[in-house]
Amino acid sequence: MIHLKSAKREKYTLTDLAPEKSALNNAILRSKQKLILCSAAIAFSIVLSMSAFLVLQQHLGYLLLINACLLVHAWLCQAKLAPLIKLFIFQSLVTIGLYVLLYGQERLFEAVIVVTRIILVMLPSWWLASTQSSHQISQVLSLLLPTKWAFVVTTSIKVLPFIGQEARDIYHIQCLRGARITPKALMNPINWYELVKCVLFPLLIQLLSLSKHIAHSANQRHFDKSSTHTHWPLN
Amino acid sequence: MNSRFNLHHSLFIGFCATLLVVIKSMLRMKLGFSGHSMFLMSLFYLVCYGATNKVGSITLCGLLSGMLAMILGVGKGGLFILLKFTLPAIAMDIGLLFIGTLFSLKVRLILLALIGSVAWALKSGVQDFLVGMDMNIVLLQFGINCLSGGAFAVLGALLVPLILKRLDAHDLLMKNGMRDK
Amino acid sequence: MTLLALHQVELQQSDSTYLYQNLNLQINAGECHCISGATGCGKTTLLQLMAMPNQFNYQGKITHSPALIIGLIMQDPHVQLVRETIGAEVAFGLENLSVPALDMLPLVEQALAKVGLALPLNTPVTHLSLGQKYRLMLAAQLVFEPNLMLIDEPWAQLDNQGITELCQVLTDLLEAGVSVVIVEHNTAPFTDMIDFQWQLTSGALFCVTHSPQASDDNISRHSASLCLDDKMSVNMMQHQNGDVAAQSNCLLSLSDVTIRYANQIATLHISDTVSLHAGDIVGLFGENGCGKTSLFNQIVGVSDEYKGQISLLGKTPKLGLFGANLGFLMQRPSRQLFEMTVLQELEFSLKRFGLPLANATEILTQLNLLPLASDSPHKLSYGQQHLVAFASVLCIKPQILLLDDPFAGLDNHYFPLVINALKHFSENGGAIIFSSHRPILSSLLSKCWLIEQQQLTEHNVLKRAS
């Protein structure tokens, strides 16, 4: 176990950092505020989603109003409405279609209520995803999770672009090598095995080695030495 | 459960989950029919199980994919995407407790895939029931989801032994990874 | 003071051959050691053995002084940078040591100052250049206040700018009394600071005197010669354009092309027309991150984030359009391997393109790989995997061969084999473009494309009489 020389640390704090101290403190405060705000948003979206199941039909209007506010807020934050609209159309078609198929016109109103509730279940989640940065949400989660799994989650998010790029690169290179995995060739399920064999398999090998090396380098920086970890104050 | 997985295993499970979420978000637009996500889920969950050969790895992979999907806002995001990924995984792990090492690897994987897809369909079913959907329609949708999800899940599960065999042939399975036969 | 000593160390590999036998090394405070050796001789493993002896089953004696604190920098920055901002990255080690949050700030700033990264603490790691990332990795180790730094092969991955910055930091560290061990097959950039130079051969370390070995830095010798050529050839640009005969067998031409990368900030411009003809070997040179890979991606049709005109074999590039006429080797080519044996790996493309399977054995013979034909590609060393991937692209005998950084990680054993294969390929009418982050191999080139300040320009290279 390494012990840092605390004397040196103290000296440094007093001299070099004095003028910047207030700026840093502000930054730390801001990080904390953001974190609390994001936790609140997560809790709020969960409660709101749940209440879409539980609220009585005559009170559904209030819920609609709250959700409408969220919709406006998200829209002001320049969220993309397309996925929500797509979901709405798809849900309406399927549910109302099934109701009409089984019962004809008479229970159409019931079907509309059901669709509304489903949308109200989904909307807070969509609002959360489009207004809170993934960085903030992962920060909140990592405070709740055990250290190791928090590290796994944050690392996974960090390597996500790399994994995505790696997947694309390997796909392209195998296409160029003549593999039958072009979108057209994949219409035929027989070629799915080729996709698994020459894209997914090398990718898994990459992931195995990536996880080994990252684990190695994290442990080299004393990740496995103690069970309690502190957190870097700036986000 | 924490101590049973070393950091290497944990990260591998995490990265499988990441890859699952990445591929799912890439394919989401292109494939319209429901159930195709069960293909990816059963494939990756079972690869995790095969590579680490530990009960609990599927649940962990499910939880991590759910959390990642929630963090990244894949699909509709939020709590429900978490459940969507996690419930089939938990069901598969519970199934694994009962199945243990009975049957050959292939049959075991197919059974697990089926259990997972039932849990997946059940989750949507319960959700539909809670919003007050008509029981007949709930059952009808549950049936359709079971069939389509199950078909895709089995397809995914069938590819897993091929992958494990290849990893094993190259000595790439982790020390306690699963070796066929 | 002796910080670390290896005495008569032996280490067996899984196939029970010895990786090290009678290996001795003693590192004192403030010394700089450099260890060279062929790929696969166990240089990297030696660093790990020094840093974490209890993870290995070795014989002999490894002594760590009680005061020893080791910092270890491995090759790939990807796997060593685990956080999103530079402050958090350096603080990662402190978090693990349960240093209180507020005490972290001065320590982190101090470590960043040591490596000369005067950036705001919340700068995203992704915004850094590769050289800056490398120094960030150093800072993340320096925060533990180590007295011995172990560094694995910095030269191959850093461009010249990055190497200069690294040397500056290392010199400062040595002056502050920190010992440094560098594992590196090209020692030239570090000669000024090295106190002891070692050669790792057949499992033991041999002391080398300072004169650089002629056979040892093939690549750097070529690099020096190109710098000379450059000055003479700059005013000969655009030489071939009027030549009608040359244009008739033009395989690739790029005119007035602007590439916009995904992040939308930097762009690469090609204002003139540059072209590639049968038999040409073109070197594409520019610093890390200047857009070499991106340019390749446009040419092969993997991405189309460009404006202007690219014509490959008379067509606009599109993925899958050129079949066996186009061969492309990506960076870190070992990731494209998936078959059960080396031979199958080569035969995969031949089967898909309906070409004679005999090509595979021919290329394997040419690259000295025939003894490995029935081995699993995933059990080979990095250099061998690299070569197998190269062979699998070469064996389809394309008209155009694009190689993205094909010499990274290749040592003197494999390097000449690849060069010969390329010569042979171009003599048979094939055209080659290869990229590198520093100018190399001028004697081989017919011209080079230099990327400087986001501009790609074509330069003729004067062939040396060799």
- Does A2 contact C144 at a Cβ distance shorter than 8 Å? yes
Nearest CA in chain A to C84: A158
Q: Quote the CA–CA distance of C270 and C454 in Å, as a whole number.
A: 9
pTM metric for this prediction: 0.83
Q: CB–CB of B133/A95 below 8 Å?
A: yes
CA B122 to chain C, closest CA, distance in angstroms equals: 38
Using CB atoms, which residue from C98, C324, C378 is nearest to A226? C98
Using CB atoms, which residue from A107, A125, A193 is nearest to B76? A125
- Does B169 contact C376 at a Cβ distance shorter than 8 Å? yes
Query: What pLDDT does C264 receive?
Result: 60
Nearest CA in chain C to A224: C96
At C37-75, the pLDDT tens digits run 876 677 888 888 888 888 788 888 888 888 888 888 888
- Section B162-178 average pLDDT: 73
Distances (CA, A) of C208 to B52, C34, C195, C205: 46, 10, 11, 9
- Residue C7's DSSP bridge partners are C61
Angular region, A135: left φ>0, alpha ψ -120 to 50, beta rest: alpha
Q: Is the pLDDT at B88 greater than 90, yes or no?
A: yes
Find chains touching chain B: ≥3 CB pairs under 8 Å: A, C
Q: Which amino acid is at C64?
A: H
- Does A202 contact C337 at a Cβ distance shorter than 8 Å? yes
Q: Is the pLDDT at C200 greater than 80, yes or no?
A: yes
Nearest CA in chain B to A163: B19
- Section B81-93 average pLDDT: 90
Segment 198-217 of chain A within 8 Å of chain C by CB: 198, 201-202, 205-206, 210, 213-214, 216-217
Distances (CA, A) of A120 to A41, A51, B12, B87: 16, 9, 36, 22
Name the band, by pLDDT with cuts 50, 70 and 90, for residue B28.
low
Q: Quote the CA–CA distance of C24 and C50 in Å, as a whole number.
A: 12
- Does C96 contact A226 at a Cβ distance shorter than 8 Å? yes
Q: CB–CB of B43/B160 below 8 Å?
A: yes
- Beta-strand pair C326-329/C400-403: parallel
| Mean pLDDT of chain C, nearest integer | 81
- Does A196 contact B64 at a Cβ distance shorter than 8 Å? no
CA A136 to chain B, closest CA, distance in angstroms equals: 9
Q: Quote the CA–CA distance of B115 and B93 in Å, as a whole number.
A: 9
The first and second tokens of residue C279, run together, are 């038999």
Q: Quote the CA–CA distance of A232 and C99 in Å, as a whole number.
A: 9
Q: Quote the CA–CA distance of B15 and B65 in Å, as a whole number.
A: 9
Q: By C-alpha distance, which of C453, C55, C24, C432 is closest to C269?
A: C453
Q: Quote the CA–CA distance of B33 and B123 in Å, as a whole number.
A: 18
Q: How many other C-beta atoms are found inside a 10 Å radius of the C-beta of residue A167?
A: 19
Q: By C-alpha distance, which of A52, A187, A24 is closest to A116?
A: A52
Instruction: Please list, in sequence order, all residues whose beta carbon lies within 8 angstroms of the beta carbon of residue C437, skipping any fewer than 6 positions away.
Output: C158, C159, C285, C286, C287, C288, C292, C405
Q: Rounded to the nearest 5°, which phi and psi values hold at C309?
A: -125, 120
Query: What pLDDT does C210 receive?
Result: 55
Lookup result for tokens 């993309």: A80
- Beta-strand pair C204-208/C196-201: antiparallel
The H or E element that residue C347 is part of is helix C342-353
- Does A122 contact B12 at a Cβ distance shorter than 8 Å? no
- Residue C33's DSSP bridge partners are C181, C196
Query: What pLDDT does C231 receive?
Result: 37
Using CB atoms, which residue from C52, C110, C349 is nearest to A177? C349
Q: How far is CA C419 from the centre of its chain?
A: 16
Residues of chain B contacting residue C377, judged by C-beta atoms under 8 Å apart: 170
Q: By C-alpha distance, which of C462, C435, C129, C431 is closest to C280?
A: C431
CA C379 to chain B, closest CA, distance in angstroms equals: 6
Q: Quote the CA–CA distance of B127 and A132 in Å, as a whole number.
A: 25
Q: Quote the CA–CA distance of A194 and A197 in Å, as a whole number.
A: 5
- Does A95 contact B133 at a Cβ distance shorter than 8 Å? yes
Encode burial over C37-55: b for 16+ CB neighbours within 10 A, e otherwise: bbbbbbbbbbbbbbbebee
Binding-site residues on chain B for chain C (CB distance < 8 A): 166, 169-172
The single-letter DSSP state of residue C264 is S
Query: What pLDDT does B61 receive?
Result: 94
Using CB atoms, which residue from B8, B47, B64 is nearest to A215? B8
Is B29 within 8 Å of chain A by CB? no
Q: Is the pLDDT at C246 greater than 80, yes or no?
A: no
Query: What pLDDT does B59 receive?
Result: 93
- Does C326 contact A228 at a Cβ distance shorter than 8 Å? no
Is A143 within 8 Å of chain C by CB? no
Q: Is the pLDDT at B91 greater than 90, yes or no?
A: yes
Query: What pLDDT does C68 receive?
Result: 87
Q: By C-alpha distance, which of C12, C9, C18, C22 is closest to C63?
A: C9
CA A214 to chain B, closest CA, distance in angstroms equals: 8
Query: What pLDDT does C78 receive?
Result: 78
Q: Quote the CA–CA distance of B36 and A5 in Å, as a whole number.
A: 56
Q: Is the pLDDT at B60 greater than 80, yes or no?
A: yes
Q: CB–CB of C259/C305 below 8 Å?
A: yes
Query: What pLDDT does C82 receive?
Result: 86
pLDDT, one tens digit for every residue, chain A (235 residues) = 455 544 344 444 444 444 566 777 787 888 888 889 889 988 888 888 888 888 888 888 888 899 899 888 888 888 778 877 887 888 788 888 888 888 878 788 888 888 888 888 888 888 888 888 877 888 888 788 888 888 898 888 888 888 888 888 999 999 988 888 888 888 887 888 888 888 988 998 888 888 888 988 888 888 887 777 888 877 6
At C397-407, the pLDDT tens digits run 898 999 988 88
Best to test chain B binding among A125, A133, A151, A168 (most B CBs inside 10 Å): A125
Distances (CA, A) of C416 to C199, C360, C373, C407, C441: 20, 20, 20, 10, 11
At C132-169, the pLDDT tens digits run 888 899 899 988 888 899 998 888 777 788 888 888 88
Sign of the torsion angle spanned by Cα atoms B72, B77, B82, B84: negative
- Does C88 contact A233 at a Cβ distance shorter than 8 Å? no
- Section C394-417 average pLDDT: 83
Name the band, by pLDDT with cuts 50, 70 and 90, for residue B154.
very high
Distances (CA, A) of C115 to C75, C111, C132, C133, C142: 18, 7, 9, 11, 9
Residues of chain C contacting residue A151, judged by C-beta atoms under 8 Å apart: 82
Q: Rounded to the nearest 5°, which phi and psi values hold at C183?
A: -105, 125
Q: By C-alpha distance, which of C122, C34, C133 is closest to C77?
A: C133
Higher pLDDT among residues C158 and C95, named by residue? C95
Q: Is the pLDDT at C220 greater than 50, yes or no?
A: no
Q: Quote the CA–CA distance of B160 and A150 in Å, as a whole number.
A: 28
- Does B159 contact A138 at a Cβ distance shorter than 8 Å? no
